[in-house]
Each structure stands twice: as C-alpha cells, then as structure tokens.
C-alpha cells in the first residue's frame, strides 16, 4: 500500500499527461485569445505574449508548461482517491461541466456559491463531512467579474486549487494557474476533455496497481 502511493511520486510525469495535448490543439481551440487591453489584470502580465489590435494574446508555451503541471497534479490527486470539485460560474458551460464531472465520478458546483460551504461545512452538511481535496476552476470569476469566493476559502482551508485564469483574472491565490481563454466554447470543451481523460486515466491506473498488488 505504501509502495502504491510512493511509486508515482518518483517520476516527473508518471501519467504521461504531455501526450494528451499539443500546441496546435491549444491554438485551434483558441486558448490563446485574451480580453481587451483595458481588462488586463496586472498580475497576468508575465503570462501575456503580446497585444494585437488591443486584444491580449496569451503565451502558449507558458500555458503548455502550466497545463502539464496542473494535469499531472490532478492525476496524482485522482490516483490517491481524492475528491475533486469542478467550479465555474459561467451559465453557458454549466451543463457541460456538470456532465463532465458526472462522467469522471467527481463532483461539480456551477451554481450560486453559498457563503459557508467550505468554511462552515460541518454545520451546513453535518458532522463528519469530507471536504474536497482539489478545486478546479474552469472560470475564475463569478457573474459580477470578481474573483470567486471559493479561491479565498480554499486558501483558508488548505485545499490546493487548479484554475484557468484569463487576462482579467487574479492568479494570486491559485496553486496551479493555467493562463488561457475561459470564454470560448471550444476552449472549455478542450479543458473538459483534458481533465476528464486525466482523471479517468489516473483512476484506471490506480485500479490496475491495486489488482497487481493483490495478485502478488
């Protein structure tokens, strides 16, 4: 059992997440498109490649690195049977994200966030709740274009976060930010596909390793 858990940690890319996406896929899904120059957040400037006709272009090389780190992290969490919660406050993609979460066997929250969900969980849900071990933000802002409350709450509760940050978002409190577009349908479908594949892959690998260790 100990070997099961410590073995993936020794490899840099145990689940081989690099092969799931390529630069061309990201470009075709229009992940590099950001918002206009006026909407730019100060802390996103390192991730921005340039500006054309007032529209920011996100640096896809950095996006590749961040995406690889984030997918690797989610795969490890899924391998160790952690609870993953997908969060997005965009009404357009609410259905897509909920179906993705259902197919993975993980959880989603694309509705109005009640204040004490993470911080006041023992009273809201009951004693003995298990909080999520990873939050994945497919849309970092809420409907009023402010940073989602869950980012701050996760930081308070020591829960790691993975988030897609657009040019108008604040990447500060997110542990594994992924600079990229969060408004196009193609980009969202790509992210959902990638997360779904990593989680399913990690879970399958876990089941295989358990079967092997039982056989021995």
Q: In this chain, which stretch among 103-111, 140-148, 172-180, 181-189 interacts with another protein, using CB under 8 A?
A: 103-111
Tokens describing residue 201: 């892959």
Q: What is the C-alpha to C-alpha distance for residues 73 and 161, in angstroms, rounded to an integer?
A: 10
146: phi then psi, degrees, rounded to nearest 5: -115, 160
Q: How far is the CB of 102 from another protein (least distance, A)?
A: 5
Q: Which of 111, 146, 204, 210 binds another protein (CB under 8 A)?
A: 111
Q: What is the C-alpha to C-alpha distance for residues 168 and 180, in angstroms, rounded to an integer?
A: 11
177: phi then psi, degrees, rounded to nearest 5: -75, 150
Q: In this chain, which stretch among 8-16, 101-109, 160-168, 192-200 interacts with another protein, using CB under 8 A?
A: 101-109
Q: Which of 2, 19, 53, 158 binds another protein (CB under 8 A)?
A: 158
Q: What DSSP state is assigned to residue 147?
A: B
Residue 106 as a binder of another protein (CB under 8 A): the answer is yes
Q: How far is the CB of 85 from another protein (least distance, A)?
A: 6
Site for another protein in 66-95 (CB under 8 A): 81, 83, 85, 95
Residue 36 as a binder of another protein (CB under 8 A): the answer is no
SS3 at position 176? strand
Residue 144 as a binder of another protein (CB under 8 A): the answer is no
Number of H helices, E strands in the chain: 7, 8
Exposure on the CB side of residue 206, measured as CA atoms within 13 A: 17
* Contacting positions for another protein (CB under 8 A): 81, 83, 85, 95, 98-99, 101-102, 105-109, 111, 114, 117, 122-132, 157-158
């Amino acid at each position: 059992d100990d070997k099961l858990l410590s073995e993936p940690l020794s490899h840099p890319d145990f689940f081989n997440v690099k092969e799931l996406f390529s630069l061309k896929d990201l470009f075709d899904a229009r992940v590099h498109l950001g918002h206009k120059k006026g909407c730019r957040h100060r802390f996103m400037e390192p991730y921005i490649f340039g500006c054309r006709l007032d529209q920011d272009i996100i640096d896809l090389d950095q996006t590749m690195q961040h995406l690889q780190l984030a997918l690797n992290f989610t795969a490890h969490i899924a391998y160790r049977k952690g609870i993953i919660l997908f969060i997005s406050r965009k009404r357009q993609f609410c259905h897509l994200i909920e179906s993705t979460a259902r197919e993975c066997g993980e959880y989603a929250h694309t509705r109005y966030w009640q204040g004490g969900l993470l911080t006041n969980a023992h009273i809201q849900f009951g004693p003995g709740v298990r909080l999520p071990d990873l939050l994945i933000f497919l849309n970092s802002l809420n409907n009023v274009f402010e940073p989602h409350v869950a980012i701050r709450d996760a930081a308070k509760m020591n829960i790691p976060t993975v988030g897609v940050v657009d040019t108008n978002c604040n990447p500060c409190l997110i542990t594994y930010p992924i600079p990229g577009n969060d408004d196009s349908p193609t980009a969202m479908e790509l992210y959902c596909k990638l997360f779904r594949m990593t989680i399913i892959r990690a879970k399958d690998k876990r089941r295989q390793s358990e079967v092997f260790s039982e056989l021995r």
